[in-house]
Amino acid sequence: MKPLTPAEVKEAADTFFPLFDIVHRSMPENCTVEDTLKVLETVCNLAHRNRDEEKIAAFGFLKDEEETESESDSTEDT
């Protein structure tokens, strides 16, 4: 495997540490870095799940809106 460049490591750190800090600030005072990393993993999994649910909900909402419009069009014709 090719070694990472300093720029690649900096880019990854710029993504990682703000997320770590958000979770770490919410943790109890005596928690370890390992505790924070475990919670961060759980929180990120939840965030991904929430993102997926929002996509499904938006798709369902748009579909229902189209059906409602087509139903109102057919009632206007009568």
Residue-number span of the structural domain to which 52 is assigned: 39-70
Quickly state the pLDDT bin for 54 (edges 50, 70, 90).
confident
**3 within a domain of the structure (yes/no):** no
CA separation for the pair 53, 46 (Å, rounded): 10
Quickly state the pLDDT bin for 1 (edges 50, 70, 90).
very high
C-alpha distance across the termini of the chain, in Å: 69
- Counting the structural domains of the chain, the total is 1
Which has the higher per-residue pLDDT, 52 or 72? 52
Q: Encode pLDDT of 3-47 as tens digits.
A: 999 999 999 999 999 999 999 999 999 999 999 999 999 999 999
Residue 57 has pLDDT above 70, yes or no: yes
